[in-house]
Structure 1
Amino acid sequence: MKPRHLAWILGTFAFAAHAQSSVTLYGIIDIGLTYASGTQTSRTSSGPTGAHQFAMFDASANGIAGSRWGLRGVEDLGDGLKALFVLENGFMLNNGTFANGGDEFGHQAYVGLSGGFGKVTLGRQYDTYTDFVQPLTATGQWAGYMGAQPDDVDSLSNTSRINNAIKFRTPDYRGFAAAGLYSLGGVAGSVTQNQLWSIGAGYSTGSLSLAAGYLNARDPNLSLYGTTPNKGPSISNNIGSFGSPTIPESYPVDAGYASAHTTQIAGAGVQYAIDTVVFGLVATNARFEGLGSSSGPNPLNYSGTASFMNLEFSVKSQVTPAFLIASAFHYTDRNSVDGDGGAKYLQLDLGTIYNLSKSTSVYMLAVLQRASGRDSLGQPAVASIGGFSPSATDHQIALRLALQQRF
């Protein structure tokens, strides 16, 4: 063997030993049978009409965790520095289509570096407000999309991901961590148009967990709600739909506020465990400011600010290592916009999870919601449980029995 060939082989092995890397395939499959009362089916001159609905849905619609598969890669660059990436695809198990509006990697798609300084990532990601506050909510632990605030008005159920985002997270220090995210609007001649930024922080030690976060989205109809292929330009309503005689409404709680110039969401939560029982309290405020801007359509000619105050109290108990029961109560109060008197929503979540193994579980969820006042579509407020078509009336009951497997 020639000396230069031997040197090349030895150099190759030395590089392989220095730059160790791994790629992991992972995923979740979650599908279930659902029931919803009063689901909108049509519209007459007097308002929407509805009927009971029995269906099979992937969890991407209304379960604990939407079906997905992903690739997670890490490469050791030496001296504590690592390169990393995540590519995560969401799909609908009941029909095999892409979730997230048709995005191939709609859940997450980013690359970055980590080390003693923390972690920096670039791409399509979760915002840092959600990163810290969501884990203390019912929707982030056991209730999924069904357990979100009405129509996920405070954005804690991952209804939206953030495109073109740069995120930085500090290392954990004695239970404390913080993070920030900035999404570039990318509009020529304007630094702030379509921009989004968020911050978050959390502390956890023993039985106590605390978290807080803030999100600010300029032109939210595009920067926050318009980040998937099935969404449109500013003339489109990317939050929801007013419906038609043959198509149900969607997101009536806040769809009327697509013309907001800025959306600001702030939230904080606390969780405390006593033996196997965990109590949680989360408060959020979602504000749609500057209604009537060119960010989105404004058919009802709203002006001013729509502000939602949301409270959630939850309790869960790990009865046995395999069996969990939980409940949560939500209260949402919106201010009066242009003299409409505002709206209120009350919601009760009930859930139970039984683990058949470390990877497979069955679960049951039940959600009851009642609405009052007038909603963002200018009609008597209708109930609208996360992941389901809205009710034709002011109340709705939703049930789900599902099987979930993780790999």
Structure 2
Amino acid sequence: MNKLLITGATTMFTLAGAAHAQSSVALYGLIDAGVTYTNSQISPTTGAGHSNWELKSGPVQYSRWGLRGAEDLGGGLKAIFNLENGFNLNNGQNTSSNRIFNRQAYVGLSSREFGTLTFGRQTDDMVDFVGPLSLTGTQYGGTHFAHPFDIDNLNDSFQINNAVKYQSPEMEGFRLGALYGFSNQAGGFSNNRAYSLGISYVWGALNFGAGFLQLNSDAQTPAQINSNGAVTDTSGSTLQGVFTSNAVPLGALSSRQQTWGAGVNYAFGPAVAGIVYTQTNLTQLFQTGPSTHFQNFEGNLRYALTPAVELSAAYTYTRASSVTGGGNPHWNQVSAMAGYSFSRRTDVYLQGVWQGVSAGSGSPLGVAWINGITAPSSTSNQVEATVGLRHRF
């Protein structure tokens, strides 16, 4: 009898251990903090330009923590989930006031043979397929390296709510992606909906990616914006900050925002060089206003000087059609960064960005504003320098 009980207990523990081995939940995160100097920011009290020293959370990558998990369902099929929160290290608050998992929150199924299908709040295909080829979408540049206003969302300033997303497995070097974000509004199917597509191809040292994103809105006034739709808040600077304090990208204030782009990286020895092009078209800004478009041309280079020292630099030229008159503005931006890794999880870095803008006197875009800086410059030039510490867990 005792032998039978012992055998039964052993079997139960063995089965429990096997079941546990087929499921996993992991806590992960990234903490990024730095001291940033800016030569000119408009003062909220005097309105004039002043230099500023700031403690910044996420100068390169947004600080975050999350939970991800998977359960093996057999036959190469898994149930997966990811819950990710972005936070401000300076004060411990969420970067979005009304969301716990403001960066990502999804559940789905993943198959080695058929790909991955997920449901929830997720990143679009410009972020997934083009962002990694631009220094702004990587650990080698990040927030301050973003194209003006992060108008193409390569730095993941906003995510898509109510999204159904598919990503294919790799097929002879190719990978495909698609996403649709529902408006979730009765009688307003297209009022704040989103959809995107992406494709990538890897062949030896060559890495190519392309993406497309479209946001639609039927709102005629800011009061009619669908607050439960596909895009409702941001975690970084967007062009809307020039015109309104509403925490939504211009796609929700336009009848349509259409962004597409492509990039290519090539690795040779310890170096990786790349070029990226994106274009964002805004149709009927504020629903009844003018249409405009932004084009970004980026060249970038990163070089592993030693296993512990990484250097990176980028030049971006941006041009736009006039939004409210005053000529067609254009930007030049030069960015550079040096990082030293103490380990695979902890590094320090020094980075700097210069931005210059040229626009007519009647344009609201006539002052420089580096992405992630608290306020725009009082002039057509702005410089920032940051020394920071980053830790991953």
Task: Report the TM range for the smaller structure's normalisation.
Answer: 0.7 to 0.9
Q: Which runs of 5+ in 1 are unaligned?
A: 231-236, 244-248, 294-300
Deviation readout 1:28-64 (Å, 9 max, x if unpaired): 11111011111111487xxx421000011111xxx22
1:113: Cα distance to partner? 0.4
Distance 1:319 1:337 in 2: 43
Pick the aligned partner of 1:226 from 228, 232, 255.
232
Change (3 A) 1:341 1:101: farther
Report the RMSD for the aligned CA atoms in angstroms.
Answer: 3.0
1:276: Cα distance to partner? 1.1
Matching residue of 1:269: 263
1:290: Cα distance to partner? 2.4
Matching residue of 1:387: 372
Matching residue of 2:49: 50
Q: Structure 1 residues 188-197 or 362-371, which shifts more?
A: 188-197
- Report the number of matched residues: 379
Deviation readout 1:164-212 (Å, 9 max, x if unpaired): 1110000012221010000000110232221100000101122110000
Change (3 A) 1:387 1:339: closer
Counterparts in 2 of 1:92-107, with a 5 A limit? 92-107=88-103
Matching residue of 2:240: 239
1:280: Cα distance to partner? 0.6
* Counterpart AA for 2:277: A
Q: Secondary structure at the match of 2:128?
A: helix
Q: Secondary structure at the match of 1:65?
A: coil
Native 8 Å contact 2:199 2:209 kept in 1: yes
1:259: Cα distance to partner? 3.4
Distance 2:250 2:68 in 1: 39
Native 8 Å contact 1:226 1:238 kept in 2: no
Change (3 A) 1:166 1:256: closer
Q: Secondary structure at the match of 1:163?
A: strand
Q: Which runs of 5+ in 2 are unaligned?
A: 219-224
1:327: Cα distance to partner? 0.8
Change (3 A) 1:224 1:43: farther
Change (3 A) 1:156 1:256: closer
Native 8 Å contact 1:241 1:250 kept in 2: no
Find out whether 1:285 has 2:291 as its counterpart.
no
Find out whether 1:331 has 2:328 as its counterpart.
no
Native 8 Å contact 2:57 2:88 kept in 1: yes
Find out whether 1:405 has 2:383 as its counterpart.
no
Matching residue of 1:174: 172
* Counterpart AA for 1:290: Q
Matching residue of 2:157: 159
TM-score scaled to structure 1, two decimals? 0.85
Native 8 Å contact 2:125 2:196 kept in 1: yes
1:302: Cα distance to partner? 2.6
Native 8 Å contact 1:73 1:86 kept in 2: yes
Matching residue of 2:222: none
TM-score scaled to structure 2, two decimals? 0.88
* Counterpart AA for 1:118: G
Matching residue of 1:113: 109
Distance 1:340 1:241 in 2: 15
Pick the aligned partner of 2:141 from 135, 140, 143.
143
Pick the aligned partner of 2:72 from 51, 71, 76.
76
Q: Secondary structure at the match of 2:154?
A: coil
Native 8 Å contact 1:18 1:77 kept in 2: no
Change (3 A) 1:394 1:256: farther
